[in-house]
Copies of this chain bind each other. A is one copy, B any other.
């Protein structure tokens, strides 16, 4: 799926436990400018429900599990994040919804840019219109 990929994060493991380091450009394909983590989410809640014009993000369930719906006007899929070593890269113009958080889930998100409300698209119809244009241009660029 365009602008979405599952990333197998390298675990550094020894008798003292496990560690996963993330920095750009070694393990990340975008510079790290912001992180946030989400926790204490009731199982019946859905988060996300927006897209970004140009943000790169990596989502990791560092504890517990959660389902992520990623969607464009052309395709959609659900990815289960259930391991600290499984990252979901989400690039620009992808609608995303997070749901089915386990009680213990901590979802860590790494982002390429500082917070900017103007980069969010929160209305699905507006997203669809912009995304049609975005992916049409992408296609042209790849011809």
A binding-site residues for B, Cβ under 8 Å: 15-24, 26, 32-42, 45-47, 62-63, 84, 101, 104, 106, 108, 110, 114-115
Contacts and interface: CB of A to CB of B under 8 A. Distances in A.
A115 B37 CA distance: 22
Contact of A21 (B15, B35, B104): B35
Given A63-B106, A106-B63, A40 B21 contact: no
A134 to B, nearest CB: 26
Q: Report the copy number of this chain in the oligomer.
A: 2
Contacts of A41: 16-18
A36 B17 contact: no
10 contacts: A16-B47, A17-B45, A17-B101, A18-B38, A18-B40, A19-B36, A20-B36, A32-B33, A39-B62, A104-B104
A21 B45 contact: no
A36 B21 contact: yes
Contacts of A106: 62-63, 84, 106
A39 B104 contact: no
Nearest to A46: B16
